């Protein structure tokens, strides 16, 4: 290959020299054509093709019959009056004879020798043709030719110049990036399993869930119906992901005592003649048996995952708001809340109870669900991060268990505590809730941790006591008692 390339480069340089002598500027393609037509190796490969064509034709003609023609002429002469041995004289005449023969033969079977020879000659012709193309290609690759010309000319003789190329900003698909963030958080961070359901409803199943109007809650929209459904039970496209996810609970309950499923998929609405409104939604369902843990712990874990969705999208946790008007049958009174991200309601979450829980999973258990419309989540592609420096001076922390009515809800308590401010307060976080033995009926113990510190000095015991006194005065003012 290297020898061939050097020979071709020599031919190219000769062509260039001839071009200078004739005052004609040859293009690179013209130089390559010149090299191909004058390259000895290419010419030898072309002759090899001719030889193989002759050999192939000879092998094919072996099937033709043979024809042989033989002719012979004989003459005889005798001496007149010649005496024989007994003294008598014999008289004879001169004579001649002509003979001829024609023979024809044709091979009928030679053990496939001729057939195999024809096939072998055909392959040899194909090989010779491929070798010719390879030889032409070896001296036709512009990159290789340029490299060899530069090597002969000398890289040191070339002036380095940066190429001028257009650049474009990296395209970022913001909705797709939002989906990827949610997928990584739920699958990797929280151990959810992603599933993909069919994009249509099952009529019997949505009737069992008592879903009215196929889940369409906007009067301006209608469910999208198939013109040619696969069956009468699958006539409508889904308008929410939850029914199909609920259908997976009973199927997977047979094999696992606890599992977490989520789906990112499209929902469809009919918004006019031959017009379809398509949206992307994120939904999840979490199941565990009653023996696996409490419903409150399960609900809190799902709520934490939803809060973190807000963090990865907007660098702040999702918020929740109690709503009175339910749009779907699984939004049961007192068992669901609306999800607010970046100040806008984008979905809902809750848990199942009563007859609906038995419909979803006949053997019982605990089911928590959530659904978010990603079309309403205008997430930042690169959300700003709020970072706090590591404190130079050590701080202090303390846990406080507060008694609060369970029916009032955690959100109301958290909102009340957020009104407390103090120059030493760094953060306040929720630790856990206790509703067992020792608590009055309808009351729960909610434990919070307060972190305090100062940026320019180490806290003194007096400062810590002052903060504690201010915190207790605030709780007394709000009517929130400490658990004794």
Could you tell me if 283 and 305 are in contact, meaning their C-beta atoms sit under 8 angstroms apart?
no
- CB count, 10 Å around CB of 453? 19
Mean pLDDT in residue range 428-439? 87
How distant is the alpha carbon of residue 281 from its chain centre?
19
User: Is the overall model pTM greater than 0.85, yes or no?
Assistant: no
Cα–Cα distance, 236 to 458 (Å, whole number): 66
Calculate the CA dihedral of residues 432, 436, 438, 441 and round it to 10 degrees. 110
CA distances to 95, 327, 335, 367 from 362, in Å:
125, 24, 19, 12
**Residue 24 pLDDT class (50, 70, 90 cuts):** low
**Rg value, the chain, Cα:** 48
Tell me which of 419 and 52 has the higher pLDDT: 419
**Residue 471 pLDDT class (50, 70, 90 cuts):** very high
Least confident interval from 42-51, 63-72, 222-231, 275-284: 63-72
Cα–Cα distance, 50 to 73 (Å, whole number): 44
Cα–Cα distance, 455 to 19 (Å, whole number): 81
Cα–Cα distance, 129 to 123 (Å, whole number): 10
Q: Please choose, from the candidates 284, 283, 278, 253, the residue with its C-alpha nearest in 3D space to the C-alpha of residue 266.
A: 278
Q: Is the pLDDT score of 255 beyond 70?
A: yes
Could you tell me if 258 and 289 are in contact, meaning their C-beta atoms sit under 8 angstroms apart?
yes
What angle, 0 to 180 degrees and rounded to 10, lies between the N-to-C axes of helices 2-21 and 40-61? 120
Q: Is the pLDDT score of 132 beyond 70?
A: yes
Calculate the CA dihedral of residues 11, 12, 18, 22 and round it to 10 degrees. 150
Our CA angle for 431, 433, 435, nearest 5°, is 160
Could you tell me if 335 and 355 are in contact, meaning their C-beta atoms sit under 8 angstroms apart?
no
Q: How does the average pLDDT of the chain come out, rounded?
A: 85
Q: Is the pLDDT score of 93 beyond 80?
A: no
Could you tell me if 309 and 376 are in contact, meaning their C-beta atoms sit under 8 angstroms apart?
no
- CB count, 10 Å around CB of 419? 9
How distant is the alpha carbon of residue 271 from its chain centre?
32
What pLDDT, on the 0 to 100 scale, is given for residue 72?
Answer: 80
Mean pLDDT in residue range 272-280? 87
Cα–Cα distance, 20 to 35 (Å, whole number): 17
What pLDDT, on the 0 to 100 scale, is given for residue 253?
Answer: 92
Cα–Cα distance, 304 to 320 (Å, whole number): 11
Which of the 8 DSSP states describes residue 85? T
What pLDDT, on the 0 to 100 scale, is given for residue 97?
Answer: 76
Dump pLDDT digits (tens) for 446-470.
999 999 999 899 999 999 999 999 9
């Amino acid at each position: 290959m290297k020898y061939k390339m050097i020979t071709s480069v020599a031919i190219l340089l000769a062509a260039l020299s001839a071009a200078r002598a004739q005052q004609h500027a040859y293009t690179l393609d013209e130089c390559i054509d010149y090299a191909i037509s004058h390259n000895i190796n290419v010419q030898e490969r072309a002759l090899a093709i001719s030889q193989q064509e002759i050999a192939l034709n000879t092998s094919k003609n072996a099937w033709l019959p043979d024809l042989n023609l033989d002719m012979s002429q004989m003459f005889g002469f005798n001496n007149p009056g010649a005496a024989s041995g007994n003294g008598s004289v014999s008289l004879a005449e001169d004579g001649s004879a002509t003979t001829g023969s024609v023979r024809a033969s044709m091979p009928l079977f030679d053990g496939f020798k001729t057939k195999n020879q024809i096939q072998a000659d055909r392959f040899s012709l194909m090989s010779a043709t491929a070798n010719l193309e390879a030889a032409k290609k070896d001296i036709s690759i512009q990159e290789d030719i340029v490299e060899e010309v530069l090597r002969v000319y000398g890289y040191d003789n070339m002036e380095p110049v940066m190429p001028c190329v257009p650049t474009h900003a990296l395209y970022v698909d913001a909705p797709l990036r939002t989906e990827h963030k949610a997928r990584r958080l739920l699958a990797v961070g929280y151990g959810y399993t992603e599933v993909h359901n069919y994009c249509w409803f099952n009529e019997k199943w949505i009737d069992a869930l008592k879903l009215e109007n196929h889940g369409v809650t906007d009067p301006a929209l209608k469910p999208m119906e198939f013109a040619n459904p696969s069956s009468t039970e699958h006539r409508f496209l889904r308008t929410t992901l939850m029914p199909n996810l609920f259908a997976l609970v009973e199927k997977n309950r047979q094999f696992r005592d606890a599992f977490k499923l989520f789906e990112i998929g499209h929902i469809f609405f009919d918004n006019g003649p031959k017009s379809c409104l398509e949206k992307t939604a994120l939904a999840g369902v979490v199941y565990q048996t009653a023996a696996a843990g409490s419903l409150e712990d399960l609900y809190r874990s799902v709520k934490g995952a939803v809060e973190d969705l807000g963090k990865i999208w907007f660098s702040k946790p999702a918020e929740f708001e109690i709503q009175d008007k339910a749009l779907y049958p699984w939004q049961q009174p007192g068992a669901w809340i609306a999800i607010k991200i970046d100040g806008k309601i984008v979905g809902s979450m809750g848990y199942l109870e009563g007859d609906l829980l038995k419909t979803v999973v006949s053997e019982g258990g605990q089911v928590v669900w959530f659904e978010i419309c990603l079309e309403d989540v205008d997430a930042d592609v690169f959300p700003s991060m709020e970072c706090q420096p590591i404190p130079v001076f050590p701080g202090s922390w303390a846990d406080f268990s507060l008694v609060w009515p369970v029916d009032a809800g955690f959100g109301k308590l958290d909102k009340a505590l957020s009104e407390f401010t103090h120059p030493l307060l760094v953060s306040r976080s929720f630790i856990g809730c206790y509703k067992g033995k020792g608590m009055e009926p309808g009351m729960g113990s909610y434990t919070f941790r307060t972190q305090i510190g100062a940026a320019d000095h180490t806290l003194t015991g007096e400062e810590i006591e002052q903060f504690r006194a201010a915190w207790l005065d605030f709780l007394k003012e709000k009517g929130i008692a400490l658990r004794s």
